[in-house]
Structure 1
């Protein structure tokens, strides 16, 4: 599909943040499946999305190094979490935390990836957005390698964790602050963890 150049609009798209966005890709990132929440949120039809590279929704505010870390981790056979700002068809944006899992065939060969995305608490966005802007600025001025070196040094010196661990920590900290009436008498999300957050629903569509 030949996607026309989109004008970027600094406006969040309206979507049901109680739902989970689900997609499946092959090992090259080509979309094989998109649920209704995905197509409704990104403003493309499912038919338009299938067969397209997943970067059809990549927002220009996202530094490339984040996706490099993502793919490097998946290629090692490890699951991954990422906080991503995505781009809709009309140029709007939406922030999600993504849980990537690896799909294998009966012989254990990696055949693709499944991604489940949920809305990101505003507190997490406020913490991650300045870092992404710095990485993007370095990328534009000094190149992707310089951005990667800064990212690695930042995680080591200021966080002391891998990117995946950093994301989980940020997310769980924010979830613990945003307890609702629904969960006051239940086990808190920070104890249940991200696995509950992504798979606790009975119907992700």
Structure 2
């Protein structure tokens, strides 16, 4: 399958409810994903999950945003036709007037080649660990990496 390309200054935006069902996607998200708005609205956001994505990254993402914190993560997504595209995602909780989380907001931009040169082999290592030892095995690798970077995942992500 082919890698989809978009401009460095373009932003991919989507919103979900608390269950991860898509409530909004901007034009670029629809274009890259290859789905119509009707197909994407109310669909689970993992409709664009690429099989090469380590489960541990999504585990960390969900734990972080459900706790009310934002997270940055590199993600490879899969379009409807099987093509793929990489993003650097910033995901934040959305709140109602009573400060309850009512959904999540994600703004994604094109990652640098240098960052992907670090992320691709790491994700391959995490996927291999998951294949042989499950998510716990890949989580151990990720936790060691985070410890090496001062104990903060975002600090590691933003350093590359």
**TM above 0.5, one fold?**
yes
Which 5+ residue runs of structure 1 have no aligned equivalent?
1-8, 171-205
Equivalent pair of 2:14/2:29 in contact (CA under 8 Å): yes
Matches within 5 A, 1:178-197: none
Shift of 1:132: 0.6
Shift of 1:17: 3.8
Corresponding residue of 2:156: 166
Equivalent pair of 2:130/2:138 in contact (CA under 8 Å): yes
More strand by share: 2
Give the TM-score of the pair, scaled to structure 1. Answer: 0.75
Shift of 1:15: 3.0
Corresponding residue of 1:34: 25
Q: Whose Rg is larger?
A: 1
Shift of 1:147: 1.2
Shift of 1:149: 1.5
Shift of 1:105: 0.7
Corresponding residue of 2:35: 44
Corresponding residue of 1:181: none
Corresponding residue of 1:174: none
Counterpart check, 1:99 vs 2:71: no
Shift of 1:86: 0.6
Matches within 5 A, 1:1-205: 9=1, 11-156=2-147, 158-170=148-160
SS of equivalent to 1:143:
helix
Give the ranges of 4+ consecutive aligned residues of structure 1 lying more than 4 Å apart after TM superposition.
none
Shift of 1:35: 0.7
Equivalent pair of 2:6/2:110 in contact (CA under 8 Å): no
For the residues of structure 1 that align with 2:44 and 2:12, how far apart are their CA atoms?
17
Corresponding residue of 1:198: none
Shift of 1:19: 1.1
For the residues of structure 1 that align with 2:8 and 2:50, how far apart are their CA atoms?
19
> How many residues are aligned here?
160
